[in-house]
Structure 1
């Protein structure tokens, strides 16, 4: 199993050259915020990503790929609420 620190680091590095902060919510889910480092403009905010299925490098890469695709499809859109990012086909992975 991947530690939460390592998981956060992998996700944060997955969005370079943009900046990403990945924080742990009190319930153990993750909040992922991707933003432009020079302007601070937020490109993506997902508030409740569950970690139970993020147990392999493939699962983490799939999550990052889905979030990057969502960012490309809906620029500068914030995603909040239940943690589900609209438009993704496999919400069970979050």
Structure 2
């Protein structure tokens, strides 16, 4: 796995009420990832970017819902989410400055 690929795997952390609840209860962080990302790639990307040890990765695909935007019918995007379980004592601080 190249470093360039690993830097592109993670798109954004998911900051929702459900994701925060899961993070507090199970020591898991939710990320939006590229559609063709594999579990080993996601694990390596988190360890590279955040210097935190990963215990396991769970991945799920969600289909975008069909929604109306005024009188037009549109579609939300399909997403691939990764729930990354960190080892005991590890944590990710999104507020710290990356150097």
**Which of the two has greater strand per residue?**
2
Q: Which TM-score tier does this pair reach, normalised by the shorter chain?
A: under 0.3
**Structure with more relative contact order (C-alpha pairs < 8 Å, separation 6 or more):** 2
TM-score, normalization: structure 1? 0.28
TM-score, normalization: structure 2? 0.27
